[in-house]
Structure 1
Amino acid sequence: MTSFVHDFPFDPAHGRTLDELLAVPAPPVPDDFADFWRARYAAAREVATEPELGPVEEERDGVRIHGVTYTSVGGVRIGGWVALPAGGAAREPVRHGFVIGHGYGGRQEAGPGVPLPLPSSAAILPCVRGMGTRALVDGIPDVSAGHVLHGIESRDTYVIGDCVADLWCAASALEELVPELAGTGRLGYHGESFGGGLGALALPWDERIAAGQLTVPTFGNHPLRLTLPCAGSGEAVRGYHREHPEVVDVLRYFDAATAAGFVARPTLVAAALFDPSVPPPGQFAVYNALAGERELLVLPAGHFEYEGLAEDVAGLVEARRAFFGKWLG
C-alpha cells in the first residue's frame, strides 16, 4: 500500500493492497441496463448538434484553439473548445480525433487537454451541462456536491445520463466540424475523475469511439462506494443515500464498473492506490470489469499533491500517447 502523510479523517487508501484492489468486482447488472443506455445513445444520435466554431482564442502545441457551442439532448446548448491542427493558411489534414472529458471542477479553459495525445489530431473539449463557464444551465447546480444529486430521484431525470449524452453529442459535433474523421475508426476518448466515470458510461454504446483512456474514474461500484468516506462528490451521494436509501435503484444504472463490463474496445485505465476524492476500490472496479483489451497504469495517488507528482503526470501523458498511437494508428 502507498502511504502519505495527510489530515483526512479517513484512510484514502481504504486499507486495500494492490492485489486486493485488483479483485474488486462490479456489482450485479440490472436486466435492462444495456437497453436503457442504448436508448439514451439512440436519442443522442438523433440530435442535430449544429456546432458553431468561434474565432481562434489561442495557438500553442501545434493546434489552434477555438471556442465552440453545439446542441445536446433536451435542446441544451453546450459550450467548450475545439483544437484544430495549426498549419499556415490551410488547415493540415486531420488523422485522429478526440473527445476529452473534464473533472468535477469543471473546465474554464482548454488547459490540460492540450497538447493532444497524437499529432495531426483534432479534439473537442466540452463543458458538460451545468459545469464550467460555458455550459451553465438554469436549475442545474454548478458545484459538484449539488450537481451529482441533480435529478437523482429517477434514472430518467438524473443529470449524469444527460452529461453522458453531452459527450456523445460532442463526438457528433466534432465529426460535423471535421468531416474527414467520420467513419475512420480513429476517434478516441479520454477523461479524468468525473470525466473518467462519464467515459466508462459512454464508451460501450458509441461505435465511433475506437479506444478510451480513463484516469482515476469515478462512479465505480456504487454499492461499495456508499460504504467508503471520501472528500469528493461521492460524499454528497452517501449523505443523500442515508436519507433516501431507495436511491440505490437509480445508481445501479449509472455505475461505471457495471458499464465497463460492456466496453469491448481497448481501454487504458490509470488508477490510484491512494485517493481522498475517488475511493481507489471504485477506480479499480472499473478496470477489473473491462470486457475488451485493457491496460492498467497504477498511480501512487490521485487528487493529491505529493513529491514526484510531476514525473508521474509526465509518465501518464506518455502512456496515453503510446496507447492511442497503438490503437488509433
Structure 2
Amino acid sequence: MPLTDMPLDELRAYRPELTEPDDFDDFWSGTLGAARAATAAPAEYRPVPGARLTAVEVYDVRFPGWDGQPVAAWLLLPRAPGPLPAVVTYQGYSGGRGLPEEHLLWSAAGYAHLVVDSRGQGHETPDPDPARSPQWVGGFMTRGITSPAEYYYRRLMTDCVRAVDALRAHPAVDADRIVVHGGSQGGGLALATAGLAGDAVAAALVDVPFLCHYRRGADIASAGPYPELVQYLGVHQRVDPARVFGTLGYFDGVHFAPRAHAPALFSVGLMDPVCPPSTVFAAYNRYAGEKDITVWEFGDHAGGRASQAVTQLDWLAGRGLGTRG
C-alpha cells in the first residue's frame, strides 16, 4: 500500500479554506432540541439472561434517539464499585453493535461501556424516516443528500448525542467522565458528538475519522464510502454538486472540530485509501480543545490496530480519566 496523500509536514499545516453554513449552530440546536422534546420515556436497560461473561454485567439497551425513536445499544458494566468512568463507542460504516462478546476491552479496563448501534446499518435499529426523495447509491452517504433536513447523518448524529444524554443518567456512571470513541465512521461520529454535546463529553478518541472534509475525500479517496459521492454525482448529472456539498457542510467534522473543547486523541494512517490523511488533518488542525494525534506511518485504514488502544488507555489515565490511581 503506497502513501495516499501529502507528506507529513504538509499535513500538519493543512488548513483548507472552507465555507461553513451560516445557520450551522441554529440547525443543530433546533435538531437536538426537537429530539429531546420528542422523548417520551427514559432509556431501558434489560439484563441479558444467560450471558457467558462473568466479569461484566451485560444489558440490552434501548434509548431514545432521533424523534424519540428507540436506538439499540449494549451496556457492559464491570463488576466494580461506581460511579464508573464510561466510554461510548460508535460503529464503523455499515456496521452494527454486533455481540457483546466483541466489545470487552473497555469493560475489562474498568470502564462502563455503551456500544451504540447505527440506525439502518445494524440489525437492531431500523431507520424508519428515510428522505421523502430517497435517491442514494450503494450505502448511506447519499440518502437524502439534497436536503440537510432529510439527510441520513442528521438522524444518526442525533442518536449519538442522545446516547451520551442517556448514559449520563445511569446511576453506575460518573457523568463527568464520559469519553466518546470510534474509528472510521465511528471516529467521525465521536468528533461530531464532541462538537455538539459540549461539557457532557470529557474526552474524545477519534480514530482514522470518516465524515471529514467531504470534498477532499470525494476527490482523492480510492476506496470506502467517499466514492459513493462520486458515483452519485456521476449518475445524477442534473443535481448541482454545490447543493450536495452544501448539505454535507452541516455534517462535516471540519465544522464540528472548532466547537469541540474536550481533550481529544486522534489517529491517522498515512497509507489510508478510505479516509485520506488530509481529510483527517483538516479536522484535527481545526480542533479547538487540547489535542494530540498518533501518526501510523505504515498504517492503512486499520490505523494502529490494538497498539492504538494501548495508547488510548495510557492517554486517558494521564488526564485523570483512567480507572486506577
Shorter-chain TM band: 0.7 to 0.9
Q: Match of 1:8?
A: none
Q: Say whether residues 1:42 and 2:33 are aligned partners.
A: yes
Instruction: Give unpaired runs (5+ residues) of structure 1.
Output: 5-10
Q: Which has the higher mean CA deviation after the structures are superposed, 232-241 or 286-295?
A: 232-241
- 2: CA distance, partners of 1:23 / 1:291: 15
Q: Per-residue deviation at 1:139?
A: 6.6
**2:259 aligns with one of 258, 262, 275:** 262
- 2: CA distance, partners of 1:230 / 1:262: 30
Q: Match of 2:274?
A: 277
1:160-309 equivalences in 2 (<5 Å): 160-178=153-171, 180-182=173-175, 185-206=176-197, 207-242=199-234, 243=236, 244=239, 245=241, 246-299=243-296, 300-303=298-301
Q: Are residues 288 and 139 of structure 1, via their aligned partners in 2, closer, same or farther at CA, if it must alter by over 3 Å? A: same
Q: Are residues 51 and 191 of structure 1, via their aligned partners in 2, closer, same or farther at CA, if it must alter by over 3 Å? A: same
**Partner AA of 2:222 in structure 1:** C
- 2: CA distance, partners of 1:288 / 1:61: 43
Q: Are residues 99 and 239 of structure 1, via their aligned partners in 2, closer, same or farther at CA, if it must alter by over 3 Å? A: same
- 1: CA distance, partners of 2:217 / 2:314: 31
Q: Which has the higher mean CA deviation after the structures are superposed, 276-285 or 32-41?
A: 32-41
Q: Match of 1:327?
A: 319
- 1: CA distance, partners of 2:137 / 2:260: 26
Q: Match of 2:114?
A: 124
Describe the superposition over 1:208-255 as per-residue Cα deviations: whole angstroms up to 9, x where unpaired.
Answer: 111101000011112222211321111112222343312111011111
Q: Say whether residues 1:109 and 2:99 are aligned partners.
A: yes
Q: Which has the higher contact order (CA 8 A, sep 6+)?
A: 1
Q: Are residues 123 and 286 of structure 1, via their aligned partners in 2, closer, same or farther at CA, if it must alter by over 3 Å? A: same
Q: Which has the higher mean CA deviation after the structures are superposed, 43-52 or 279-288?
A: 43-52
Q: Which has the higher mean CA deviation after the structures are superposed, 280-289 or 132-141?
A: 132-141
- 1: CA distance, partners of 2:33 / 2:218: 31
Q: Are residues 104 and 259 of structure 1, via their aligned partners in 2, closer, same or farther at CA, if it must alter by over 3 Å? A: same
Describe the superposition over 1:136-190 as per-residue Cα deviations: whole angstroms up to 9, x where unpaired.
Answer: 334759x9932222221211111101111111111122233336533xx211100
**Partner AA of 2:287 in structure 1:** L
- 1: CA distance, partners of 2:41 / 2:263: 27
Q: Per-residue deviation at 1:93?
A: 1.4
Q: Match of 1:17?
A: 7
Q: Match of 2:43?
A: 51
- 2: CA distance, partners of 1:233 / 1:255: 14
- SS of the aligned residue for 2:305 comes to helix
Q: Are residues 59 and 98 of structure 1, via their aligned partners in 2, closer, same or farther at CA, if it must alter by over 3 Å? A: farther
Q: Say whether residues 1:30 and 2:21 are aligned partners.
A: yes
- SS of the aligned residue for 2:105 comes to coil
Q: Are residues 51 and 144 of structure 1, via their aligned partners in 2, closer, same or farther at CA, if it must alter by over 3 Å? A: farther
With structure 1 as the length reference, what TM-score do the two structures score? 0.84
- 1: CA distance, partners of 2:204 / 2:54: 22
- SS of the aligned residue for 1:327 comes to coil
- 1: CA distance, partners of 2:101 / 2:151: 28
Instruction: Give unpaired runs (5+ residues) of structure 2.
Output: none
Identity among equivalent positions (%) equals: 27
1:77-92 equivalences in 2 (<5 Å): 77-86=70-79, 92=81
**RMSD, matched Cα:** 2.5
- SS of the aligned residue for 1:190 comes to strand
- SS of the aligned residue for 1:100 comes to strand
Q: Are residues 60 and 270 of structure 1, via their aligned partners in 2, closer, same or farther at CA, if it must alter by over 3 Å? A: farther
Q: Per-residue deviation at 1:76?
A: 1.9
- 1: CA distance, partners of 2:137 / 2:87: 25
- 1: CA distance, partners of 2:6 / 2:147: 33
- 2: CA distance, partners of 1:118 / 1:23: 38
Q: Match of 1:150?
A: 143
